[in-house]
Amino acid sequence: MSTDERRVASSGDGIVVLAIESSCDETAAAVVEDGRRVLANVVASQVALHAPSGGIVPEVAARAHLRWIVPVVERARDEAGAAWPRIAAVAVTEGPGLAGSLLVGINFAKALAVARGWPLVPVNHLEGHIHAAWLTDEPDDRTPEFPLVALVVSGGHTILVEMDGPLDYRLLGRTVDDAAGEAFDKVARLLGLAYPGGPAIMAAAGEATDRRMVLPRAWLRGSYDFSFSGLKTAVRRMVEQDAGTLARSLVAEVAWAFQESVVDVLVTKTIRAAEERGVRSVVLGGGVAANLVLRERLAAAAAERGLLLHVPAPEFCTDNAAMVGAAGHARFRAGLTGGLDLDARPSLALAG
């Protein structure tokens, strides 16, 4: 593979892409140039809307997308300024995600494609999380190079893939039950912590002082797959044994032990995959990638083995449209456009 092919996501070709993301509970629009330079990135969050229920209500999420899609795209247009007339295509998340939420973004993108004559580029939400690693102002030689191993850890997905090129995904492992982010949310609820669970558990874990508690780790020997259901069950049993309410000091210790268990498994399996597959670069993406302990532990493990770790800035880890623009750029250059029959694909897989 040539150097140009290895760095296709940061080629400096001047292509400007408008991207729309509405797969779950964030309404987002972005304008991205060259697959890496973010000219506008607007996100309307629904966290406060879903916090009372402790989780996402699909119908409520879809209605909120309908409310925010126009103002979010208009603000992205204003922030992009002079770059807006240079837009070459509109990229949109087609899946995976919530059907109603996906349809809002897809139908709006279709309308823009017809009105402006832009090609329509369907993007897999998970590949967006991977391509977020190219959203940087660093020189080309500081961006990921192929082949690489990518770990995507989010509220709905935990997957480990190998990539030989920008759009070449080979599945190595996936969660067999709860995704890591989902486990964070569920355990936070068990501990009486706020929603979303990731930041709440990280904050509570930071208050732990004893740090000797050990919770289960599901290694699933002989595979790169993940499992967090047993870990969640172990926490539930602790809470039930303590009459349903844990003391604040114990909540901190449980949060710390839970986070340690999740991070340990994620880091160990990712590093093992990178070494066994013979790659030099590792990419970390997804909402859970904003967890500072995971970022630091994976960085240290990678450095010890001479691996290059690439992690997006925190604002590009959680759901956003800039990452869709980065992946959309690669798809547009490869000629992978869609038609007006594009539909939501809630269970869309990244690789087989």
Which domain, by its residues, includes 35? 3-136+317-333
Does 322 score more than 90 pLDDT?
Answer: yes
Same domain, 302 and 177: yes
Q: Domain for residue 214, yes or no?
A: yes
Model confidence over 121-162: pLDDT tens digits? 999 999 999 999 999 877 776 889 999 999 999 989 999 999
Q: Domain for residue 150, yes or no?
A: yes
Lowest mean pLDDT among 29-43, 56-70, 124-138, 232-246: 232-246
- What does the mean pLDDT of the chain come to? 93
CATH code at position 115: 3.30.420.40
- Structurally, the chain folds into a number of domains equal to 2
Q: Domain for residue 350, yes or no?
A: no
Same domain, 160 and 219: yes
Same domain, 249 and 290: yes
Same domain, 257 and 326: no
Same domain, 86 and 162: no
CB-based burial label for 99 (10 Å; 0-12, 13-18, 19+): middle
Q: Residue 77's pLDDT band (boundaries 50, 70, 90)?
A: very high
Q: Domain for residue 208, yes or no?
A: yes
- pLDDT at residue 244, rounded to an integer: 67
Same domain, 306 and 179: yes
Same domain, 197 and 325: no
Q: Domain for residue 352, yes or no?
A: no
Rounded mean pLDDT of 290-310? Answer: 97
Q: Domain for residue 230, yes or no?
A: yes
**Percent of the chain scored above 70 by pLDDT?**
95
Q: Is residue 36 within a helix (H) or strand (E), and if so which, with residue range? A: none
Same domain, 322 and 197: no
Q: Residue 30's pLDDT band (boundaries 50, 70, 90)?
A: very high
Helix (H, G, I), strand (E, B) or coil at 99: helix
Same domain, 292 and 327: no
Q: Domain for residue 251, yes or no?
A: yes
Same domain, 97 and 238: no
CB-based burial label for 263 (10 Å; 0-12, 13-18, 19+): buried
- pLDDT at residue 155, rounded to an integer: 87
Query: Can you tell me which residue has the tokens 């869709």?
Result: 324
- 76 or 241, higher pLDDT: 76
Same domain, 258 and 165: yes
For the four alpha carbons of 257, 262, 265 and 266, in that order, the dihedral sign comes to: negative
281-285: strand order across its sheet: 168-174, 158-165, 148-153, 281-285, 308-310
Same domain, 113 and 204: no
Q: Domain for residue 59, yes or no?
A: yes
Residues for the chain: how many in total?
Answer: 352
